[in-house]
Amino acid sequence: MDYLPLFFNLQGRSVLLIGGGDVGLRKARLLVRAGARIALISHEVHPELEELLQEHQGQILGKDYAPQWLEGQAVVIAATDDQALNEQIHADCVAHNLPINVVDSPALCTFVFPAIVDRSPVVIGITSSGKAPVLARLLRAKLETWIPTRYSDLGQLAARFRDSVKARFSNINQRRKFWENTFQGTVAERVFNGQMQEAEQLLQEQLDASDAAEPVGEVYLVGAGPGDPELLTFKALRLMQQADVVLYDRLVSKEVLDLCRRDAEMIYVGKKRDNHAVPQPDINRLLVEQAQAGHRVVRLKGGDPFVFGRGGEELEELKMAGVPFQVVPGITAANACSAYAGIPLTHRDYAQSVKMVTGQLKNRTSELNFAEMAHPNQTLVFYMGLHTLELIVEGLLENGKPPETLIALVSQGSTPEQRVLTGTLADIVAQQEKAQLPAPAIIIVGEVVALQPQLAWFNTSD
């Protein structure tokens, strides 16, 4: 370890900054955020830096550096392009046992500025020990996306309850367990949703009933997208990694399942046509039972849970049972498969509306309004319709869609196994009989399919 990570408390303390240009300004912005008072030495001062000094009780000591300016300083930062001056400042600081940072000169630093993820009171610093600052910034960018900004609110909530929790639990292990449940449970989720009043009330209730009450469970209805794990939302990933129990469908890819918490109980409740591993009423009952047992339950559905996913039915059951829940949307198959196939669902020249339709026809007879679907200038997307492709084509043709209307089948969209078959209403059934593209697949009907050959980008070969 090249550096020992330390955090300075600079609230109300003076920091000597030598150099008032762009680099000095960047350092000054960080310093005032940490509550420091800046003492500046510089011949020229950036206008914004001058404003910072005025707003945060800083001062300009003079134009030229002298060792006496080190007296009373907590930290020293040299942001000049004068190598000889930088070396002198470094030597003087070492002699006075003062922390010194010479910008972009690791050899002249006794401390370095990390890349910072600020979720105060939670602060994360990342350093490459001055060897690869761009890499440190890239890691910071990743952490910024993984850590919700409301972790700041969660930390502040914990600070308000810290003394109460300490008084309630004399044993450090009891306190640790209480906080672990808080930071990973329903209180934290209320905070992340911006429900601060509810979070504070719930935390107080859990603290008051900590000896007697059973832990409160919750259900997270999460859209897993079409298969590519990189299409998951940040919130979906966070909830998947903290769930105690995961109920998942057949269409959830292995790659997505691998991102769930390793020790979570995994329950398969998938459905195929005419073959339901677990009937829907039993799935509803399982969700209620697992949540009432105090578990955090992720109900993981392929695509989006509210687009032909029966998510509404499951939430109705949870609502009647008094089980709290959240919904995390996913990228539905129409959006993902069309994008990965290079078929825009709307286009100024071809289609001004999109209609999403279930192709799962009851008793193999059509209850769909094909007459409405025959209107021009719209794109039709059929879900779960591969096995009824012939009926769909017949219905469209019988209601006035021209035989030359373009159509595409996108099988296993967004995965490495994706295949796309294009044709017309006149020939697509014969093409599919020969190609035998497997389910799951969506069917796209409309003139936008004409763009597929030139816009296809994923899983193509020369």
The residues assigned a catalytic role are 249, 271
Name 352's Cβ contacts closer than 8 Å, sequence gap at least 6.
Answer: 346, 377, 378
Q: How far is CA 37 from CA 364, 403, 430, in A?
A: 76, 76, 77
- Which amino acid appears at position 68 of this protein? Q
Angle at 271 between CA 294 and CA 335, to 5 degrees: 95
Helix 47-55 and helix 22-33: axis angle, to 10°? 20
Separation between Cα atoms, residue 255 and residue 268, nearest integer Å: 15
The span from the CA of 74 to the CA of 8, in Å, is: 9
Largest CA distance in the chain: 93
Q: How far apart are the first and last CA of the chain?
A: 48
Which H or E element spans position 31? helix 22-33
Residue 248 β-bridge partners: 268, 300
- Pairing mode of beta strands 271-272, 265-268: unpaired
What are the beta bridge partners of residue 257? none
